[in-house]
Amino acid sequence: MDAADNPGLPLTWRDGYARLGPRFATPWQATPLPDLRWLSVNHRLAQDLGLPSDWWQRPGMLEVLGNGRPLPGATPVATVYSGHQFGVWAGQLGDGRALLLGESCPPAGNAMGPQEWQLKGAGRTPYSRMGDGRAVLRSSLREYLCSEAMHGLGIPTTRALSLVASPGVVYREEAETAAVVSRIAPSFLRFGHVEHFASRDMTDALQQLVDYIAEQKFLQLPATTPGRERALAILDAVVARTASLMAQWQAVGFCHGVMNTDNMSLLGLTLDYGPFQFMDGYDPGHICNHSDHQGRYAFQQQPQVALWNLYCLGQALMPLIDDVPATVAVLDSFTPRYEAAWQQRLCAKLGCTPSAQAQALGEDFLRLLARQQADHTVAWRNLSNAVRDWSGSLEDTHEFHTLGEMVGQDATWQDWLDRYLLVLIQDTDWKPSVQATNQTTSGVLAFHARGQAMRQVNPSVVFRNHLGEIAIRRAREGDTTEIETLLSLLSSPFDDHPDMTSYTAPAPAWAQSIAISCSS
């Protein structure tokens, strides 16, 4: 970058993963797109990064985040990885349309720590295979908004800083236009990065990768920790993070859609937003990816698939760990870790102290929803409001009626409700996992406090497919106001948003006709 064009941001740049060398990452340049324009910039993330408010208007920033102009001090690269896709070894994949610009070191006192900056859709790379290296507007807009929606929900995710559009044509099923998302994360490393070097018997590279992760990314293990222990410690950390992530996805009804090992983050982040969906009507067998004919990645399969993927990771780390029982023991800790995290999340959704009894109640509530595919988000939010507004009698608590209408006013529902109220009354140990109120915890007020805490875990708004679809249609017509509305709404998903009922309501009937596949 020319000095005259230096955006002068209060960040310093360096090679992040790229510094491991050419076996890991290939220096590469983006292929420029014509007539770039900002569609949206994420001021909240910019603030978290410690950027000044006019950061995006600084000289050259559009070229950096749209056309991958190199940052001072860092070399753009595409990284190599391999992976299992739909349960089958797919061999080498790699950043086919992602370009890693570099790693930012934050200003003093910034809480975020070093962050990798990556562009998605910046053109062909050595790993593009048959692809064009591009991303279309619709998928880029979905990734941009959904990563911020996940962050708003408190779920670990890569984040997106900007959405840039170009009139450049990209062919999918039909001609579309190109867009580039800039993504930010401490690391974009995937299970597939580890699998790549293991599959080629490049044990020294595998060790180098593990050392990099251990030293730079989350374990901060002393350099003297032997290789075997490092690899096992990393596997253990990835298992723990993935178990927690799965519980968080399941708790909000998030379906990823393509849980191939190359889309699984080593840091336990939600990564690679493709045909994902927040479920509307609750259906445990829901398949959001129209290319997933077998339902491998159906909603209820996600925790199991995560474990399958972790086995691939464990297998790939074997040359370093060299201890099958120790590896299997770590992998087997996934299920109890997931179960504990799920119980904790589900009970928080119900406003109950975690217990097997409360968990069963939560699972029965989900069964009630599944009978008529009642809206997942609305039902849990209504339950929270019903508990908050509990007057001491069912007749006078209007939200319980609304909920009954959603799930079917029958004996099963009545029975569930009686059990639930009894548990709430008897559960005197309850303490909010999220401090929502300082109300006293006895009698009706105890319900009020519980309801408030439930409202901090049961969102009023999630990034539903049809909301994305409307924003996409408007953006294609040149109107970006819907993107801004959603960005603001989804960053505070636990507020009520009383003037925005069309965003918090169940999806309209036409939403069911939206078909999203891997093609993006």
State the catalytic residues: 262
CB of 377 to ligand AMP, least distance (A): 26
Per CB under 6 A, 272 contacts ligand AMP: yes
Beta pairing partners, 85: 88
Stretch of 128-136, 437-445, 454-462, 472-480 contacting ligand AMP, by CB under 6 A: 128-136
Binding-site string for ligand AMP from residue 249 to residue 268, where x marks contact by CB under 6 A and - marks none: ---------x---xx-----
By CB under 6 A, name the one of 32, 60, 96, 156 that touches ligand AMP. Answer: 96
- Which of 389, 398, 232, 371 minimizes the C-alpha distance to 313? 232
154 binds ligand AMP per the rule CB under 6 A: no
Cα-Cα-Cα-Cα dihedral sign, residues 291, 295, 298, 301: negative
Residue 168 lies near ligand AMP (rule: CB under 6 A): no
Per the listing, tokens 């319900």 go with 447
* Residue 274 binds which entry of ligand AMP, Mg ion, none, CB below 5-8 Å type-dependent: ligand AMP
- Please, which residue, 9 or 178, has the CB nearer to ligand AMP? 178
99 sits in which H/E element = strand 98-105
Helix, coil or strand: residue 98: strand
Structure-token pair, residue 474? 């408007």
Confirm if 400 and 417 have CB atoms less than 8 A apart. yes
Residue number, 81 or 430, with CB nearest to ligand AMP: 81
Our CB check for ligand AMP shows the closer of 104 and 260 to be 260
Q: Which stretch binds ligand AMP (CB under 6 A): 131-139, 278-286, 431-439, 474-482?
A: 131-139
DSSP assignment letter at 157: B
Residue 98 or 307 having the CB closest to Mg ion: 98
SS3 398: helix
Q: Does 95 bind ligand AMP (CB under 6 A)?
A: yes
Among residues 394, 434, 500, 518, the one that binds ligand AMP under rule CB under 6 A: 518
Say whether residue 314 binds ligand AMP (CB under 6 A): no
Q: Which residues pair with 278 in a beta bridge?
A: 254
Choose from Mg ion, ligand AMP, none: what does 514 bind? Cβ within 5-8 Å by kind. Answer: none
Among 30, 45, 93, 407, binds ligand AMP (CB under 6 A): 93
Encoded tokens for 284: 């445990």
Q: What is the closest distance, in whole angstroms, from the C-beta atom of residue 263 to Mg ion in the complex?
A: 4
Rounded Cα–Cα distance for residues 475 and 472 (Å): 5
Per CB under 6 A, which of residues 331..360 are in contact with ligand AMP? none
Residue given tokens 């999220």 in the structure block: 434
The nearer residue to Mg ion, 251 or 264, going by C-beta atoms, is 264
Binds 211, which of Mg ion, ligand AMP, none (CB < 5 to 8 A, cut-off by type)? none
Minimum CB separation of residue 118 from ligand AMP in Å reads 11
Number of neighbours of residue 355 by Cβ within 10 angstroms: 14
Contact between 140 and Mg ion per CB under 5 A:
no
Is residue 92 within 8 A of residue 80, CB to CB? The reply is yes
Structure tokens at 411: 């004996």
223-282 positions binding Mg ion, by CB under 5 A: 263, 272
Per rule CB under 5 A, count of chain residues that contact Mg ion: 2
Tell me how far CA of residue 340 lies from CA of 246, 293, 345, 355, 459, in angstroms: 11, 31, 9, 10, 22
Q: What are phi and psi of 498, to 5 degrees?
A: -65, -25
Of the listed pieces 6-14, 94-102, 412-420, 423-431, which binds ligand AMP according to CB under 6 A?
A: 94-102
DSSP 217-247: IS----TTS-HHHHHHHHHHHHHHHHHHHHH
Which of 83, 354 has the CB closer to Mg ion? 83
CB 444 within 8 A of CB 390: yes
Return the number of the residue (196 or 217) whose C-beta is nearest ligand AMP: 196
Residue 406 binds ligand AMP, judged by CB under 6 A: no
What's the rounded Cα separation, in Å, for the pair 406 and 382?
10
The least distance separating Mg ion from the CB of residue 260, rounded to whole angstroms, comes to 7
Contact between 105 and ligand AMP (CB under 6 A)?
no
Sort strands 277-278 and 254-255 into parallel, antiparallel or unpaired: antiparallel
Q: Which of 323, 164, 175, 138 is CA-nearest to residue 236?
A: 323
Which span (39-47, 103-111, 123-131, 423-431) binds ligand AMP, by CB under 6 A?
123-131
80 binds ligand AMP (CB under 6 A): no
Q: For Mg ion, which is the closer residue by CB, 135 or 436? A: 135
Sign of CA dihedral 329, 269, 295, 287: positive
> What sections of 288-355 are H helices per DSSP?
302-321, 324-332, 334-350
Q: Is 211 one of the binding residues for Mg ion (CB under 5 A)?
A: no
- Residues that bind Mg ion in the complex, under the rule CB under 5 A: 263, 272
- Residues that bind ligand AMP in the complex, under the rule CB under 6 A: 93-97, 127-128, 131-134, 258, 262-263, 272, 274, 518
